[in-house]
Each structure stands twice: as C-alpha cells, then as structure tokens.
Amino acid sequence: MKQNVRNTAVEVLLKIEQNQAYSNLLLNQSIQKANLSQKDVGLLTELVYGTVQRKNTLDYLLGPFVSKGLKKLEKWVLVLLRMSLYQMVYLDKIPDHAIINEAVEIAKKRGHKGISGMVNGVLRRIQREGTADLSEVTHDEERLALQYSMPEWLVQRWITQYGLDNAEKMCAANMEPAPVTGRVNSMRSSREKVLQSLHDEGIEGSNGGLSPDAIKLKKGSLSHSSSFKEGYVTIQDESSMLVARALNPSSNEKILDACAAPGGKTTHIAELLNNTGEVTALDLHPHKVKLIQEQAERLGLTNIKTEALDSRKAGEKFSVSSFDRILVDAPCSGFGVIRKKPDIKWSKKEEDIHRIAEIQMQILDKVAELLKPGGTLLYSTCTVDKEENDEIADAFLKHHSDFEWDKSFNERLPEPLQPYLKPAEAQVQILPHYFNSDGFYLACFKKKTTTGGETQC
C-alpha cells in the first residue's frame, strides 16, 4: 500500500513540476481517484506538500551527489529523488533503507535498470556521507532561501520591504502547519453553541484569538461535521474573517463584492446583514460563481446575487453610485498563504507582481464610481508585498481626490491588531508570524460627500 502511495505522490509531483498545477487541487483529485485510507491520505499529503515546500533546499542538498547535474535528469527521476531525500532528512519514522528500497522499485517500474541503479547509488551515498550543513551558508539572502526553501529573489524583496529579522520570521512561519479555523454563522448560532455541538461530535475547538466569529480546531475534521454541513460554520482563515467586519455592513444596504469567489467573505457580509439588503457577488469565472451559490445555499442566505463578470466592466452593468459599500478583495500574488499553497512561491515570478498590481489598480479605478458619496470602499489582498498593498492604496488616493482614508476603520479592528495600526491611516498589514494566520492586507477608504462647495465626510 505504501508503494502505491509513493507512486501516487511521484505522479502528483510530476504534474505540479510539468504543468505548474496547483498542488491542493491535484492532491484532492488524486485522493478521490486512488480511494486511499485516512492513514495513506496523511502520508500522501505529507510527501507532496513537504517535497514541494522544500524543493529549493532538496535540490541544493542533492546537487553534489548527481554527477551530471540535476537539470539533465528526467523530471520524474528528479521528483523521485527529491521525495526520497525529503523523507530521509525531514521525516523520523521511516528508516532510510525502506525509503531507498521503495525509490529503487519505483525507478525500476518507471524506467530501467540503469536509472534504478543511479537512484540507488545517489541515495545510498547520501546515507553514508550525509548532506551539506546549511548553517555554513553565510550570505543572508542565500541562507534564508536555503534554510526555509524560498526563491532568493523573494527573500531579497522581503528583506528590502520588512528588514532581515521580519523576513526570516515570515520565511519561518511559512514552514509551519496552518491551523484549521472556522467562522461561526452569527445569523444562526453563537461560538459557544457551535463549539458544544462540535464537542458532542467528538471534535474539539476553542475561540479564535483574532476575530469574534472565529473558532480554532484542536482535534477532528470541521468539513465532515454536522455543524458545517448544516450551515452553522464556514472554514476560513482568521485574518480573512476581519474583512467583512472592517467593511461594517448595516441592515438593508446594497453591497458589491467585486472579486467574490469562492465566497467566504461574500457569505460573511450577508450573515452580518442578517439576510437583509443585497450582496452582489461578481467573479470572472462561471464555475467559481457556482461555488458562491453553493455556499449561500448551505448557510441559508437569500440576500446574495451572483454574476459572472469582470469587475473592470462593472460600470457597464451598474449605475454610478449604486452601492452603499464595496469590497475589492483583489486577485494577488498570494504570498500570504504560502504555507497552505507552497507551489505559489515556485510558480510566481517577480514580473508577475508588477502585472497583478496593474490589474488591482484597474479594478479599484473602475468600481470607485459605483460607490455612493459617503460610502465605504475596502481593499484587501492575501499577500504581503508592498507593491500590491501600501503602494496601491497610496496610488488610489493620489488619483481619486474624492476619496480619503476611512477614519473609523481602526476602531472596527480587534484589540490584537491595534499595535500594527497607524493613527492617520486606515490600512494594516498582517504578517504570517503575527497571529499564526495568513498574511493579509486591508485598506479602507471613504468617499467624500460634497455639499454647497464644502467637503464633508
């Protein structure tokens, strides 16, 4: 059975390597297709995520043992060696001889005797001689890139933007497993009641530390619980839960969620409206719009209206000043969620950041006119890059003199966030090591109200 798990892991890793495919989607497809036991699902997940997460470090350690160089290896051989070395270096419970024997068997089935001999030779030499000592790397960028398996250009960027100490903490946080957190549907229940219901099912949790809607799981599966299936709770990261409360919706308001899928923040806004008013949820892709509809149905929400539409064309669909509040949870590089989606750090390039930032600015520019005077515009991303966050917020205010920072924003954020706020601004950057949450950014703007030549806010 373990042989099958490792074969499956090699197949998934190969697809990720060849197609730049998302590891979480491929892994879920493979788990369903292979019909694995829970124990083997755990091992497969560990092998795939661990190998992808540590790719840079594994290649550095493998390099001296492959005489013709890693670039000349067939892709499947390279991922097999990476996966085997990952087990030898980072997992304690599997003996080296078992790892090597299984790697050789996979190599025999996929290749030929020569390749299996090479795989055997490389891994046995590593077993005898050991791997390089990463602490001997003294250059800061290279050391962090190897110690925490990050692209060196991204490490350099984080050091420039946040300093060496914060950059190292960010890298370290990305290597930690992410906690499972859920958002209680306040329209239907309370945290205490949901925690009790979960306890009755053998699932243990506690109150979250950042959002008043959050619970944090200690034991069990939230997605398989009755509370989840019956719409009392939604799986969502705590920092992401801050968005809807920061937007501050009031009963019967019309709200636009301009980049809504898969709908976590849309449904949270709808819950806070207590099923009054209307949330218009847009997304570019019809199949993602369907996900929002499914979530709304599960949670018993009838005040959500969905549409497949590029939010940059929202002005062609909606009139000027149509909405009381607008959320732009913009497409971004995703560098705040690397620990959940480790392939992000390998699939993105520095030039992608510039391209994404242009799209973010275009979206804000187009939806700004749809907001009523006096209305609130919240901009958020799940990244930590200043070019997509602070710089976009500053550029928006510079080009839209009818907007200003929302002065009440800071008051709506929970006490743990207060040390990270600036009194004169309405923006906050949450780094992943602050609260053991996703890295996240929020900025809030108010549209000015002009009366008799004077501007009131």
**Is 329 annotated among the ligand-binding residues?**
yes
**Is 263 annotated among the ligand-binding residues?**
yes
Cis amide prior to 262 (ω within 30 degrees): yes
**For 325, how many CA atoms within 13 A lie in the half-sphere containing its CB?**
27
Strands lying side by side in the sheet with 214-219: 204-207, 214-219, 181-184, 233-235
Catalytic residue, chosen from 171, 332, 382, 444, is 382
> 171 catalytic, yes or no?
no
Residue type at position 54: R
Instruction: Please answer whether residues 145 and 151 qualify as being in contact, where contact means their C-beta atoms are separated by less than 8 angstroms.
Output: yes
**Is 260 annotated among the ligand-binding residues?**
yes
Residue 301: both structure tokens together: 């929400």
Instruction: Please answer whether residues 445 and 404 qualify as being in contact, where contact means their C-beta atoms are separated by less than 8 angstroms.
Output: yes
**Is 261 annotated among the ligand-binding residues?**
yes
Determine whether 302 is exposed, middle or buried from the number of CB atoms within 10 Å of its CB (0-12, 13-18, 19+): exposed
Distance between CA 384 and CA 158 in Å, rounded? 9
**Is 265 annotated among the ligand-binding residues?**
yes
Strand pairing report for 403-405 and 323-329: unpaired
Distance between CA 199 and CA 195 in Å, rounded? 6
What contacts 229, CB < 8 A, 6 or more positions away? 298
| Binding residue positions for S-adenosyl-L-methionine | 259-265, 283, 310, 329
Active-site residue set: 382
